């Protein structure tokens, strides 16, 4: 046994135009005493709003202005291009002719984008007028050269009419804002632009800082620190030890000789035997720690350094292997950082 949900009758208002529209709805459907909600198609009568003649006229006027601009573009390119073919090849001449028209049309677009900021719109308006005058002068010159100066003047007038028509349309469609609302909008745009600029500069500074941390020579000790900066048998100076840690953290698989080469590049004074002995001791100690079950060395990240900063440092050092970057991040921030997070951040930074 099945039951169907009856369709409800829709009340239609007199004097209102409707159009039929097929829609779906969920209705209860019962089979053998078990009811489920299923989709059912039904026809709904949707009211048709009256035609907005204001919008129709506005659209028609906008299309007419766009058509005038198109006519002016074609005429100017053809006229100026024919004028320039006297000096260069035709393809080059017509490309150069397009520059005259594209210049003032682009300024009109910029003026439209800055319609809520009269101060910013004034610049494109003035420059666009200058480019339009140059365009008209070139068209008139072509008519004079062809011994039909009146034709050149008429062609130049086409560009002037198109520019003026488009300006009138823009002024009609742009809605002037109250002075206070305009100031509020400008301040809001300035704050958003400042955040975007700050984010871009912060990322750039992070990349620069990462490069400086790896490649820049460490400052030489001075004064009382000079005596303690020298290596002693079996022990490295703080400066050399910091450099060794930075090198091994950046390039985990680097050999001991490679570490010594990097120290030479940094211009540090060190005892090679002491550095090799310390590196060998650390490797043996690390192997012992890895062999213990459930006993890992906690990693401590430098103050303020995030996982993203560590990944940027590795990328700026030329490391592009994903597994090496994961190992490097785990050594600095610990193995609690999920591999998926590191890989996702690595892919994002590599693509940026």
Q: What is the pTM of this model?
A: 0.46
Q: Sign (positive/negative) of CA torsion 132, 133, 137, 140?
A: positive
Alpha carbons 67 and 166: distance in angstroms, whole number:
10
pLDDT at residue 17, rounded to an integer: 83
Give mean pLDDT in consecutive 10-residue pieces for the chain, a chain of 352 residues: 49 80 91 91 86 84 90 91 90 91 91 82 90 92 88 90 88 79 84 82 74 56 44 56 70 70 68 69 55 46 70 80 83 77 80 74
Structure confidence at residue 339 (pLDDT): 79
- Nearest Cα to Cα of residue 121 among 164, 85, 83, 174: 174
- Among residues 211, 213, 210, 217, the alpha carbon closest in space to that of 269 is found at 217
pLDDT the model gives residue 217:
52
Give just the sign of the alpha carbon dihedral 156, 162, 165, 170. negative
352 and 336 in contact (C-beta within 8 Å)? Answer: no
Residue 328 burial (10 A CB sphere; 0-12, 13-18, 19+)? buried
Q: Could you tell me which residues are beta bridge partners of residue 39?
A: 26
pLDDT in the model for residue 242:
66
């Amino acid at each position: 046994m099945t039951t169907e949900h009856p369709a409800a009758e829709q009340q239609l208002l007199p004097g209102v135009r409707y159009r039929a529209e097929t829609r779906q709805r969920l209705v209860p459907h019962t089979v053998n005493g078990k009811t489920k909600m299923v989709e059912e198609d039904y026809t709904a009568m949707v009211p048709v709003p009256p035609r907005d003649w204001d919008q129709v006229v506005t659209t028609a006027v906008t299309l007419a202005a766009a058509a005038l601009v198109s006519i002016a573009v074609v005429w100017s390119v053809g006229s100026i291009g024919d004028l320039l073919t006297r000096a260069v090849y035709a393809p080059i001449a017509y490309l150069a002719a397009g520059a005259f028209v594209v210049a003032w049309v682009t300024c009109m677009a910029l003026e439209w984008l800055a319609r809520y900021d009269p101060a910013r719109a004034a610049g494109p308006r003035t420059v666009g007028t200058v480019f339009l005058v140059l365009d008209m002068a070139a068209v008139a010159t072509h008519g004079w050269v062809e011994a039909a100066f009146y034709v050149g003047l008429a062609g130049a007038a086409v560009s002037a009419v198109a520019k003026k028509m488009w300006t009138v349309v823009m002024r009609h469609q742009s809605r002037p804002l109250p002075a206070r609302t305009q100031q509020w909008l400008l301040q809001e745009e300035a704050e958003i632009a400042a955040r975007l600029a700050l984010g871009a500069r912060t990322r750039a500074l992070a990349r620069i800082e990462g490069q400086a941390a790896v490649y820049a020579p460490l400052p030489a000790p001075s004064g009382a620190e000079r005596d303690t900066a020298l290596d002693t048998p079996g022990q490295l100076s703080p400066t050399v030890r910091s450099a060794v840690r930075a090198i091994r953290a950046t390039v985990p698989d680097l050999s001991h000789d490679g570490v010594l080469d990097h120290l030479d590049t940094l211009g540090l004074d060190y005892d090679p035997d002491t550095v090799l002995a310390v590196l060998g001791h650390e490797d043996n100690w690390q192997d012992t720690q890895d062999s213990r079950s459930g006993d890992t060395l906690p990693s401590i990240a430098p103050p303020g350094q995030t996982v993203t900063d560590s990944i940027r440092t590795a990328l700026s050092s030329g490391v592009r292997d994903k597994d090496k970057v994961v190992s490097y991040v785990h050594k600095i921030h610990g193995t609690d950082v999920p591999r998926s997070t590191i890989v996702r951040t690595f892919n994002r930074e590599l693509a940026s």
